[in-house]
Every structure is written in structure tokens, then in C-alpha cells.
């Protein structure tokens, strides 16, 4: 089976080719291959000429603070309904990338009868739910920042498309190796190896996801011909402080370098964050899809690095 993938060479996308190349033929959709997702014509040309049955849409602008800086510009053009302004589109803002890009992919999938897998984020939620409850796929989205807003808008476009679709929410992906971009795990690991002190937040909760598990989860959803929303995330709610301690101890590094701080102090003057983002993955677990805890993910990474 051939799958078209936006973001194929990225942190997450590249792992699909590394782990599943025996099962699928992956074809990248990117500016390097002559396709800009914000350019409707090039998207339609690519999807029309391809015999791929599935499009996996990973590409997005994910820099939360960078997206927040786009908000004023985006709102200016949105309020004017100036959707065709080429100056704006060339800026590749959060709305242009995450909404218009997704709209182009959706419309091209509809024209060519392709299934769409849209990778979304935990940031579509406001983080106000208690950790005892956690967020399920049935919970109402209520993003707090522009990144979350743009990804939620993408979700709505997909859900209203009439396509056969999957929305796979992903949170804090991490992996053993990737040269082109660091994830939070490798940033912490490197700083600890260099003997740097780290201020780590204690009152923020995340659901880290081992990228290998995410890849195999998507593989399973494809093979079972599933549709709908799925939380394809790790199996543990944890604070950044707790995560850093686990990293230090797993790799025999000095955990005295890790200093507790609050979210109010750490995220001062940055985009508003949803802080208690415990996403539950019970839905995929009932399908037999197993996701690792952060501690188990670190153990697997340690084995891969040997």
C-alpha cells in the first residue's frame, strides 16, 4: 500500500520509513518534492497524480510561541476575509500552515477519494480537567493559544469533510535519534550530559509519547480500517520535573542539576499553555494497541542507543 505523507522527513514522519518500509511505500509531500501544502494547485496536482489510498498529514507549524506571534497578522487577514493575499500566504503563519494547508489536503483527498489521517495535538484542550479524569476523545476542545486554535480548526475541517478520516492526537513525541530536530527528551539529556542546571516545571502535566509506539499505533489503525478520533499517546501522566529526574536516573546522570520551578515563572511572557494535559488512551488500548509509559520508553531508547 502506498501512503502519501506530509512531513515525512520530520521528527515523527521519518520514523515511519525506518520502521514500516517493509509494509508500505511512503511518498513525501513537501516543498522539497515540489509540493507546498499552502499552494492549492500543487497539492491537487500531486494527489490527483498519485495512486496512494491514504494521506498521512503530519506537517504543521508547531512552535507554540512562534504561532502566538502570528496571531495578530492572522486575525488581520481573517477579519478582512483576505484569504488569497499572497504576501500573507508566503509568511507561512500558523493559520496559513495549519488551517489553509489542511483545507487544501482535505479538498484534494475529497476530489480523489483518499482516506485522510490528520495528526493533531493535546493543545486542542484547555488543561482544566482533573488528572483523575483525564481527557478522552469525547471531550470538548477548548484551545488556549493560537497553535491550539489553528490545530482545532484543522480538526473541524477534517470532521466536516465527509471523508473517511482519522484524527490521531499526539503529545510530546520523543525518540532515540534524529539529527535534524531535538525533542524535549534529547534536549534534557544533552544538557545533563554537559553538566548544565535545568529549571523544570512541577505544576504542569504532559503525556509523553514514544515515537515508535505512535508509528505502530497508526499502522494498527490503518490495518483495522479504523475511523474517528484517537488519542495515540503514551501511557503516563508526568510533570517535566519528574520526566527530567527519570531521564537523569535512567542514564546515570546528576539529578541534583534539576531545579524545581513553577509554570508561572517558567512560561512568563510566553504563549498561554494548557497545563494539565493528561490524555487517556483507553480507546486504543481496548483495540489491543499498547503504548509505553515514559519510563518504559526511556528503557527502550537506552537499549536502542547501545
- CATH numbers and ranges of domains, the chain: 2-305 (3.40.50.720)
Mean pLDDT of 231-256: 97
What span, in angstroms and rounded, lies between the C-alpha atoms of 71 and 175? 31
Task: Assess whether pLDDT exceeds 90 at residue 225.
Answer: yes
What are the distances in angstroms from CA 9 to CA 33, 59, 89, 246, 288? 11, 10, 23, 29, 28
Mean per-residue pLDDT for 163-169? 98
pLDDT, average across residues 80-96: 90
Query: Residue 103 has what pLDDT?
Result: 97
Mean pLDDT taken over the chain: 96
**Which pLDDT belongs to residue 218?**
98
Q: How far apart are CA 209 and CA 206, in angstroms?
A: 10
Distance CA 134, CA 116 (A): 27
Identify the band that residue 211 occupies on the pLDDT scale cut at 50, 70 and 90.
very high
Cell, residue 7: 512531513
State the Cα torsion 239-172-231-264 to the nearest 10°.
50
Question: What pLDDT is recorded for position 261?
Answer: 97
Tell me, what's the pLDDT at 6? 97
| pLDDT surpasses 90 at 80 | no
Q: How far, in Å, CA of 159 to CA of 143, rounded?
A: 17
CB atoms within 10 A of CB 23: 13
The dihedrals phi and psi of 165, each to the nearest 5 degrees, come to -135, 160
58 vs 182: CA distance, rounded Å:
17
Is the pLDDT at 83 greater than 90, yes or no?
A: no
Q: Strand, helix or coil at 66?
A: helix
Cβ neighbourhood burial of 246 (10 Å; 0-12, 13-18, 19+): buried
Question: DSSP 3-state assignment of 5?
Answer: strand
> pLDDT per residue over 95-110, tens digit each?
999 999 999 999 999 9
Provide the H-helix boundaries in the chain. 13-20, 40-49, 64-79, 86-90, 94-95, 101-112, 146-159, 184-193, 211-223, 240-250, 263-266, 282-285, 294-305
- Which pTM was predicted? 0.96
C-alpha cell at 47: 494527489
Q: For residue 228, what pLDDT band results from cuts at 50, 70 and 90?
A: very high
Look at residue 284 in the predicted model and tell me its pLDDT: 98
Query: How much of the chain exceeds pLDDT 90, in percent?
Result: 92
Taking only Cα atoms into account, the Rg of the chain, rounded to an integer number of angstroms, comes to 19
Which residue is associated with the grid cell 490545530?
A: 151
pLDDT at residue 170, as a whole number: 98
Pairing of strands 115-121, 25-29: unpaired
Amino acid at each position: 500500500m502506498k501512503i502519501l505523507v506530509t512531513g515525512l522527513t520530520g521528527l515523527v514522519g521519518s520514523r515511519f520509513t525506518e520502521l514500516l518500509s517493509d509494509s508500505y511505500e511512503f511518498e513525501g509531500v513537501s516543498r522539497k518534492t515540489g509540493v507546498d501544502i499552502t499552494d492549492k494547485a500543487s497539492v491537487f496536482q500531486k494527489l490527483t497524480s498519485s495512486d496512494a489510498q491514504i494521506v498521512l498529514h503530519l506537517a504543521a507549524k508547531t512552535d507554540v510561541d512562534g504561532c502566538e506571534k502570528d496571531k495578530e497578522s492572522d486575525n488581520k487577514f481573517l477579519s478582512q476575509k483576505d484569504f488569497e493575499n499572497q504576501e500573507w500566504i508566503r509568511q507561512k503563519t500558523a493559520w496559513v500552515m495549519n488551517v489553509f494547508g489542511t483545507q487544501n489536503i482535505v479538498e484534494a483527498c475529497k476530489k480523489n477519494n483518499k482516506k485522510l489521517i490528520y495528526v493533531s495535538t493535546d493543545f486542542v484542550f484547555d488543561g482544566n480537567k482533573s488528572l483523575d479524569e483525564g481527557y478522552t476523545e469525547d471531550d470538548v476542545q477548548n484551545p488556549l493559544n493560537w497553535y491550539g486554535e489553528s490545530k482545532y480548526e484543522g480538526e473541524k475541517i477534517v470532521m466536516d469533510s465527509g471523508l473517511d478520516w482519522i484524527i490521531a492526537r499526539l503529545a510530546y513525541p520523543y525518540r532515540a535519534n534524529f539529527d535534524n530536530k531535538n525533542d524535549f527528551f534529547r534536549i534534557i539529556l544533552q544538557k545533563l550530559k554537559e553538566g548544565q542546571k535545568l529549571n523544570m516545571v512541577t505544576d504542569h502535566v504532559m503525556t509523553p509519547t514514544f515515537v515508535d509506539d505512535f508509528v505502530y499505533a497508526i499502522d494498527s489503525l490503518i490495518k483495522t480500517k479504523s475511523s474517528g478520533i484517537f488519542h495515540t499517546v503514551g501511557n503516563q501522566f508526568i510533570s517535566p520535573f519528574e520526566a527530567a529526574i527519570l531521564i537523569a536516573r535512567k542514564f546515570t546522570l546528576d539529578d541534583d542539576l534539576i531545579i524545581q520551578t513553577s509554570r508561572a515563572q517558567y512560561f512568563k511572557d510566553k504563549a498561554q499553555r494548557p497545563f494539565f494535559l493528561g490524555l487517556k488512551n483507553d480507546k486504543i488500548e481496548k483495540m489491543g494497541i499498547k503504548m509505553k509509559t515514559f519510563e518504559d520508553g526511556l528503557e527502550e531508547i537506552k537499549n536502542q542507543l547501545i
